Amino acid sequence: MSDPVIQDFELPATGDTVFKLSDHRGKNVVVYFYPKDNTSGCTLEGQEFRDRYKDFAQADTIVVGVSRDSIKSHEGFKAEHGFPFDLLSDKDETACELFGVMKLKNMYGKQVRGIERSTFVFDKKGKLVKSWRGLKAPGHAAEVLAFVQTLG
């Protein structure tokens, strides 16, 4: 599947703010979708982005995480792990549908609909320039960082 053309989107974010993609033109933007707050893979992924956050900032890049969890859940998850970036709540699956990340997955022998771990990078003009789908969390943030460092 080729990546959709992402016009713009807006979601509630931690810190009682609203994130709108177009508000961040002039910076690279990493949008990573993850299944659920406080699960092992999602925690690891968030920690890896956190641990490289200064390097992303030096590459003129902001990072945001997106899941269907509530802002209240996100606030606790962010505080517990010291994430320096915002988490966005997509309870209505607006952005999930826009990015095509909702998939049927097998969990404990049952088919469930959930977010496929995916990351998207937008350049300073707001153009989608790279995506990863169905990825594994360990080492992924380093791979994303290496890519954004090539954008200049």
Instruction: Return d(Cα 126, Cα 80) in angstroms, integer.
Output: 31
Residue-range definition of the domain harbouring residue 139? 10-148
Q: Which residues pair with 28 in a beta bridge?
A: 61
Catalytic residue list contains 42: yes
Q: Is 38 within a domain? A: yes
Q: Is 2 within a domain? A: no
Q: Is 27 within a domain? A: yes
Specify the pTM. Answer: 0.94
Residues of the chain with pLDDT under 70: 1-5
Position 1 scores a pLDDT of: 45
Q: Inter-axis angle of helices 40-51 and 71-81, to 10 degrees?
A: 60
Q: Is 1 within a domain? A: no
Q: Is 5 within a domain? A: no
Q: Is 113 within a domain? A: yes
Instruction: Return d(Cα 6, Cα 17) in angstroms, integer.
Output: 21
Exactly one of 11, 42, 44, 87 is catalytic; which is it?
42
Q: Is 4 within a domain? A: no
Around 83, how many Cα atoms within 13 Å sit in the side-chain half-sphere? Answer: 27
- Token pair for residue 13? 């974010």
Position 112 scores a pLDDT of: 85
How do residues 85-106 score in pLDDT, each as one tens digit? 999 999 999 999 999 999 988 7
Total domain count for the chain? 1
CATH number of the structural domain spanning residue 80: 3.40.30.10
